[in-house]
Structure 1
Amino acid sequence: MKYIIHDQVILSREPEGPLAAHLLSFANAISAQGYNIWSLKRKVLIAACFSRWLKQRGVGVRDICFDHATRYLRYRAQHFRPRNDARAALRQLIDFLRGEGVIPPQQMATIRISAVERRVQEYEEYLRDIQALARATIIHYVPFVREFLKHRFGDGKVTLSKLSAADVVRFVQAQAPRLHLKQAKLMTTALRSFLRYVRYRGDITLDLAAAVPVVANWSRPSIPRGISADQTRKLLASIDRRTAIGRRDYAILLMLARLGLRSSEVVFLELDDIDWNAGQLSVSLDGHLDESADGKDLQHHPGIKLLCR
């Protein structure tokens, strides 16, 4: 059975919860602001879902505050594909309820959170809404970033522009001995992700992600890091460059051996990434491809230009 909320909004199920009686007036208010039909439907649907969630947790209309909206967004991120419009829709809904006197003004005071936690929440939103990373990945990354910021700034103001390579190295040196190998590597991956994020935001100008130390794999010391120079020369000499496939393989091996690129970086190279005049390659650093990488300091190589896309 379908339930008509507004002449342009039809829900597939009956509205429930403390906000059910206010959905029509909310829809009218949104419509009067000139939003298109699609936006109107999305905002009302999110409001209806929020109301149902409040009912399940026994929250009355007079008890609703911003904290409930924040908790609902976290719940929604675990059960639905992340979208950027949910947070804005809830903000509009709560502002509307406040304006209508449905929610007492004293309930609307923004909950104070620490400067570190505010930065962590912003980073978490970036991973979810912009990077669209899996929830499990976000859950693994966030605690390490929180500890890093607490280690550097404590309970005081968080000024990301003051971060330095020494801060990064000191944190890894302090934490790595306490962690298992896989956790230590996950920590360094999370740090690189966060430091690329703050550089993307413009909070820092240096590529501090390159300063994150590589965690040595002491459990397998007998496995070599690479083949010798003589073995590399023999491998290259064995390729038949008279064929197109041979020339392709030769070029791939040269990039792996002489530029130190990873296989994932070579795979995603395109012809447009090659600047023939400058003798330079543009290598894309993608958060999804980089999640499990140990990382390399490529920025100083004369033949490589790093791009964060």
Structure 2
Amino acid sequence: MNFAAFAAQNGAACPDDLPAHVDPFVQMWLHTRGHQAEGRSRRGGLSSFADELRRPILQLLRRLLPERGFSRTVRPLPFAETVPDFFDALHEERGLRPSTLQLYASHLRLLERFLQRQDGIDLQTLSPSELEAFMRECSATQTPASLAPLFSHLRIFLRYLHREGLLNVDLSVHVDGPRHYRLATLPRAINWDDITQLLAAVDRRSAVGKRDYALLVLLTTYGLRAREVAALTLEDIDWVHERLAVPARKGGHASAYPLSPGVGEALVEYLQHGRATSNQRAVFLRMPAPHDPMTHSAISECVGKRIKRAGIAVARPGSHTLRHSCVTRLVERGFSLKAIGDYVGHRHPKSTQIYTKLDLEALRELALGDGEVLL
């Protein structure tokens, strides 16, 4: 309502005039009420507060002007004014996909917000000491596996700045990748008692409960990724032959599973009594109108909330927690790593090796018995 009043006062006469008033409105709001950023923005800073202001307005514009193609994830690109051509260069020179460009933008926003908190420091005056302070700040909150792509993107960005003459010195040489040892960590799986507790905690009387229960059962049974579940359509469920097709796997291949009774019953209950009436062919839809398909991030966030509500303690709860739990269950049941990798769609056998660290019985037998026999 505030945006509508602002746009009308500044000459907007029809919906087509509204997009031009989004950024001026956000800037006005930040100027007059920027103090509200403290405590209201989850990540802190005016940049995050601006994103919170812009998001509902873009949702409005998507409904008013569907032909304009406003994306749900539309956000100002980092350093859009000082380095306007960087993302075009990534697309044209490297041929990167939109999802990869979004990851670049997410990482560079961290640097942009860091510089905004430093008085008098911008890209032109960035020094190795400030760069090191930024990397230390990131290292305090992220794992080495997450830091590797962040620092890689940072190096590419700094090389581009030097190439374009925006930096006199190539600071990319000061960005060292974190030490990350393969198989050094444990998968964030939960045991089967926790899975039972998680499923029992879902109130299946409501429509959202029916949907979330079907999601949880599907993820737990087949160990699918959130992207694969988000891509499922009604045509992928073959009720006659009791098969479930997963066409959009990470490795570019497709899989087909027998439709287990538990998964089938949960899907039927959701599709008949929980899924909103819609022309969308995606299996899982958002509950609020206009009932768009759930994105992979929405699915992971939904699962994470369900895990927390069930009182289950696990690091970074989400859809991948259930994938890890599915694989761990198969390892404990004695299936070969090759069979498990094929079942969950691993592209490389090494991706499954980490789960052997969770097979406590086999490790105990290896420690107490004749290790050569097991090997």
TM-score (ref. length: structure 1): 0.35
Highest RCO, 1 vs 2 (Cα 8 Å, sep ≥ 6): 2
Larger radius of gyration: 1
TM-score (ref. length: structure 2): 0.30
